[in-house]
Amino acid sequence: MTSEPIHSLSIGKTPLGTVMKLALPAIIEQLVLTLMTYVDTAMVGRDVQGLVSTAAIGVCSSTIWFINGALSAVAIGLAVQVAHRCGANDAAGARDVIAQAVLCIPVVGCFFALVMLGLSFGVPVWMNATEDIIVPAGWYMRILGFAMPFGLSVSLFSAVLRNTGDMKTPMICNILANLVNVVLNYCLIYPTHTVTLFGSEYTVVGAGLGVIGAAIATALSQMTAGVALFSRVMFRRSPLRPGKDTKFRFRRDILLAAARLGLPVFLQRACISGGQIAITGMISSLHSNVALSANSLAITAEGISYLPADGFAEAAGALVGQSMGANRPDLAKKFGKLTLILGVCSMFVTGTLLFVFSDRLISLFIEDADVITLGGRMLRIVAASEPFFAASIVLTGVFRGADDTRFGMILGIVCMWGIRIVAAYFLVPRFGLAGAWYGMVMDLVARGILCAIHFFRGRFLRAYRPLPPMEEKTVSEES
């Protein structure tokens, strides 16, 4: 144990001040990243093959989200342990967990790169994509697959730093990477063209690669962020930086704890991703590129309403995890209530903006009038459910900080497959794309209500397991 406090439980003068100091950088990061995503999507949508390119990305987006969810599960399984050890003021234990994160990058990252490569040949076909979409969608997945180890580095070290209370470093690194993505998009998506600036014409050299150029830009931006975050963790001056006393060998106790925490998160993401893939298949069966593009763009546009809730969820996970590590369940519940109120109130505001500016948001990405009209209608349908979604987002962060990852898994199965899929099965044939979004609203409302019930009953606090003594044996030594 170190004598210097390494937790973030009292970095503000009040609990509200502590929450805001952690949440604001995360919210700013999410805001900038969402704006960058908008620019990215708009660049693809305004290419000469915009409708086809947007549909190609939409076809494989659920699968990519699923793979990224697996990376997030690995990150959460390790980062929550870092939060607990920071709360217990155990710097050496936190360093040992960080060492496991370093070891996971080449092994787990390369495994998922191979998974993405394999799926790239089948997913576009399984999604009933038209012939003109299958090839670009496959290449989009394959190119992103090569960057999987760097994507894991981003997930791991962003989560680790946030759970130590450092929200600023992930914000800076991820914003930098997305700026790189936008610049490379401009150079790689469009062909060489002329632009007029202050009355003079200039030739801008471009590769004209379309959706493939977008994939290359995304992969290179992931590499930028992955290297930057890894460097920050390994070379910063901090009591949590792995040093000469840190053994870079796999630790059975840490890996088992990571599996216990991360596996339910992975299964939850698998249930949700599987459901989204099924719904995408239903939408694809409408044989309408307009519906596919409108669905993809509406989901992207809806991301603006998540920003505050995601930020408060990050703060909640770090503060609740550190509170439980410090043996302060009362403080964990206090931070949980505070982040819940802030998240729901802020998402009520953003949901209102989503409703009012629905068509304008879609028009940022594409000029097709039919896609704008249909996508805007989807945003108006989902806007009323956003406060309920906020409750589920924030409280999921609270539950994970307290080791309660199984509840989210059960909730994902019940709400996605028991409500959204069933509703979409009956409603899509009758209402088209709107039927899928009606099912989404039912899912999000139920999810928020069930999370609130679980939280106020206090059951999530019972899931926490006190930190065991750190084992000295490694996997190799025991075997």
pLDDT above 80 (res 56): no
Q: How confident is the model at residue 256 (pLDDT cuts 50, 70, 90)?
A: very high
pLDDT of residue 45: 61
pLDDT above 70 (res 470): no
Q: At what angle do helices 307-325 and 386-401 cross, to 10 degrees?
A: 20
Q: How confident is the model at residue 343 (pLDDT cuts 50, 70, 90)?
A: very high
Cα 91 to Cα 4: distance, rounded to the nearest angstrom:
9
Between residues 182 and 101, the one the model is more confident about: 101
pLDDT of residue 462: 86
Q: At what angle do helices 148-163 and 307-325 cross, to 10 degrees?
A: 60
Q: Is the pTM of this model over 0.85?
A: no
Among residues 297, 300, 175, the alpha carbon closest in space to that of 228 is found at 175
C-alpha distance from residue 157 to each of 101, 154, 307 (Å): 8, 6, 20
- Beta-strand ranges (E) seen in 293-397 are none
Among 19-33, 88-102, 113-127, 307-321, the range scoring the smallest mean pLDDT is: 19-33
Question: Around Cβ 267, how many Cβ atoms within 10 Å?
Answer: 19
pLDDT above 90 (res 227): yes
Cα 323 to Cα 80: distance, rounded to the nearest angstrom:
12
Provide the percentage of residues in the chain whose pLDDT is more than 90: 43
**Are 393 and 306 spatial neighbours (Cβ–Cβ below 8 Å)?**
yes
Q: How confident is the model at residue 238 (pLDDT cuts 50, 70, 90)?
A: confident
Cα 175 to Cα 158: distance, rounded to the nearest angstrom:
12
Residues 6+ apart with CB under 8 A from 330: none
pLDDT above 90 (res 366): no
Q: How confident is the model at residue 472 (pLDDT cuts 50, 70, 90)?
A: very low
Domain boundaries, the chain: 15-478
State whether the Cα torsion 301-302-308-312 is positive or negative.
negative
**Are 153 and 105 spatial neighbours (Cβ–Cβ below 8 Å)?**
yes
pLDDT of residue 399: 94
**Are 153 and 230 spatial neighbours (Cβ–Cβ below 8 Å)?**
yes
93-132 per-position pLDDT tens digit? 889 999 999 999 999 999 999 999 999 898 888 877 777 7
128-147 per-position pLDDT tens digit? 777 778 888 889 899 999 99
Average pLDDT value over all residues in the chain: 85
- Beta-strand ranges (E) seen in 134-214 are 191-197, 200-207
C-alpha distance from residue 187 to each of 44, 51, 83, 221 (Å): 12, 20, 41, 14
